[in-house]
Amino acid sequence: MASPPETADPLALEHQVCYALSVAARNVVAVYRPFLEPMGLTHPQYLVMLALWQHGPLSVKRLSELLQLDPGTLSPLVKRLEAGGLVRRERDPRDERALAISLTDAGRALRERAEAIPRGIVERLGMDVEELVALHGALTRVIAASQQALVR
């Protein structure tokens, strides 16, 4: 994003990083919707499934850390996925106090359909993959910087 001229209003909406991130996030999630709805998934549920497809069974705590969601936000997502037959919640055999989330056969099978989503998103956005990779890198740095700012 180009820096605003020195004389520009520092509170101009179009110069705010928070505004650009908010609108971009809303719009990108909307681009995902036509891919996810036929699969019966919302975007937050898709993120849960991505984590489980990548890592296998996870404790609620670890899933919460990976998705950077508090357990109170994560719990209803997991319950809806369980009601849909995609995941199962069980006591973690390594720690009976913890709850483990694992994929059902239906949840594992859904991965095959989901594999077409990244390519479809790139096509719908009409952006070069290199540009999206660079954006991902920049956003990853913003996430790290904002996390550091929050602990200061």
pLDDT digits (tens, 9 = 90+) for 71-84: 999 999 999 999 99
* 62 and 136 assigned to the same domain: no
pLDDT at 39: 97
Using alpha carbons, select from 9, 96, 19 the residue that is nearest to residue 1: 19
* 128 and 100 assigned to the same domain: no
Distance CA 33, CA 125 (A): 13
* 68 and 130 assigned to the same domain: no
pLDDT digits (tens, 9 = 90+) for 16-60: 999 999 999 999 999 999 999 999 999 999 999 999 999 999 999
Domains in the chain, number: 2
* 80 and 150 assigned to the same domain: no
Distance CA 8, CA 3 (A): 10
Which two three-digit tokens encode residue 120? 């479809």
Domain interval for residue 78: 14-115
* 128 and 76 assigned to the same domain: no
* 102 and 27 assigned to the same domain: yes
